[in-house]
Amino acid sequence: MADDPHIIDFIARDKDGGVILILVEGREFDGSTERVVELQTKIAAYAEYVTDGGLVRDHPDLAGKPVRVELRCVHAPDPVTAHVLTAVQSVLLEHGVPMAVKQVRRRADS
């Protein structure tokens, strides 16, 4: 979750062999400065992991594979967070790391 910037939540491969760094956010977005900064910090850590070579160092088999970041959230971002995410996506793209935001459904308890 976004509150721990030191952990990459998930690393997955897409159907084309690319790499997806998945950030999971199950909490509701509230637009508060604290939550927005948490999210920005976590995304920056993901970007640094890619651009500084941490991903390839930890997973040499992923060298040369296209990488993207995906924020998977249960709740849609509020307007403040959505605005920030749009700006963050532009900055990441300038560094060759596309980012997508996907709203997912919470799994029902069995």
pLDDT tens digits, one per residue of 14-73: 999 899 999 999 999 999 999 999 999 999 999 999 999 999 999 999 999 999 999 999
Crossing angle of helices 33-51/79-94, nearest 10°? 20
> Which of 19, 17, 80, 69 has its CA nearest to residue 45?
69
Residue 3 lies in a domain: no
Return the number of other C-beta atoms located less than 10 Å from residue 89's C-beta. 18
pLDDT confidence of 3, banded at 50, 70, 90? low
98 lies in some domain: yes
Residue 61: inside a domain, yes or no? Answer: yes
Helix (H/G/I), strand (E/B), else coil: 85 = helix
pLDDT at 4 over 60: yes
Q: What range does the domain containing 49 cover?
A: 10-103
Residue 109 included in any domain: no
The total number of structural domains that make up the chain = 1
Instruction: Report the alpha-carbon distance of residue 2 to residue 41 in Å, rounded.
Output: 8
